[in-house]
Amino acid sequence: MYQNQATSNSQALVVFLLDVSGSMGKPMGGNTRIQVVKDALKMTVTEMVQRSLKNKELRPRYKVAMIAYSDDVYDVLGGVKTIDLVAKMGIPKLEPLNRTDTTKGFYYVKKLLEQEVKNMSKESPAPLVIHMTDGEFTSKEDPELVVRAIQKIAVPDGNVLVENLFVSDELKVSIKNPTAWPGYLLGEDVGNPYCNRLLSLSSPLPEMYRTVMGELGYTIQPNTLMMYPGIKPEFVQMAFVMSTVSRGPESGEKKWEDD
């Protein structure tokens, strides 16, 4: 499982779930937390575009949704868009708002995924949800039930993957170099009660994904969960590596005839 790679005919679906609550306006690394997220989004979209180019033509290799949440939920792109359309639209404007209704955000993503998987190719990679947040949720309902329901949504390549990114410089990480960081294991105390909760709600990192990260210079150990510390922009970017889902031709991927 988790072996399929993104092509024009077997597109990878990546859903970004973005916390835009008021605390995302706090300073981080000479910037604000929400600006760090926007910069990482720009880097990721650029990477997706590069991996979708063939003979200077941009192929629709990825499908992207960007869902923001605070007190309410906001479909930033107005539905799921192919990467060529996302590139034309540019990185959306994100501003910090009010409270943190994480559960409402995940329910929206669940409904979106249930519709999208019906039309996915059998050769497509399993969908990936990248959740970015910086603080404790204020939802009346605990988000665990809906997150577990999302993780049970299955396609031929495997169940939907949920990755969590704790966007804050308040979390202590002993290793400052992201490429040397080994990753988090199940049950590990990562120094923050809410971040510990995010870890427990994160999917196991598939071995193929870990291999891709190794080819890009990272040293993630086996059996880690898909939860990453946003202590500085370089760690945020590392978490976004997963949204590219597959190898590019320069790292040994065969050249698919259909893309």
Query: Looking at residue 80, what is its pLDDT?
Result: 94
CATH number for 47:
3.40.50.410
- Evaluate whether 42 touches 233 at the Cβ level (below 8 Å): no
Residue 258 lies in a domain: no
Joined together, the tokens standing for residue 134 give: 């910086």
Residue 188 has pLDDT above 50, yes or no: yes
Residue 249 has pLDDT above 70, yes or no: no
Specify the number of domains making up the chain: 1
pLDDT band, residue 250 (cuts 50/70/90): very low
As a whole number, the mean pLDDT across the chain is 82
pLDDT band, residue 202 (cuts 50/70/90): very high
Query: Looking at residue 253, what is its pLDDT?
Result: 39
Question: What region, left, alpha or beta, does residue 29 occupy, with left being phi > 0 and alpha being psi -120 to 50 degrees?
Answer: left
Could you give phi then psi for residue 137, rounded to 5 degrees? Answer: -70, 150
Give tens-digit pLDDT for 35-85.
877 887 887 788 788 777 776 777 778 899 999 988 888 998 999 998 888
Give tens-digit pLDDT for 80-97.
998 888 888 877 777 656
Between residues 138 and 9, the one the model is more confident about:
9
Q: Is the entire prediction scored with pTM above 0.75?
A: yes
Residue 259 lies in a domain: no
b/e string for 116-154 if b means 16 or more Cβ within 10 A? Answer: bbeebeebbbbbbbbbbbbbebebeeebeebbeebbebe
- Report the percent of the chain where pLDDT is more than 90: 34
Query: Looking at residue 41, what is its pLDDT?
Result: 80
Residue 7 lies in a domain: no
Query: Looking at residue 161, what is its pLDDT?
Result: 96
Residue 34 has pLDDT above 90, yes or no: no
Between residues 106 and 40, the one the model is more confident about:
106
Residue 159 lies in a domain: yes
The boundaries of the domain holding residue 188 are 12-251
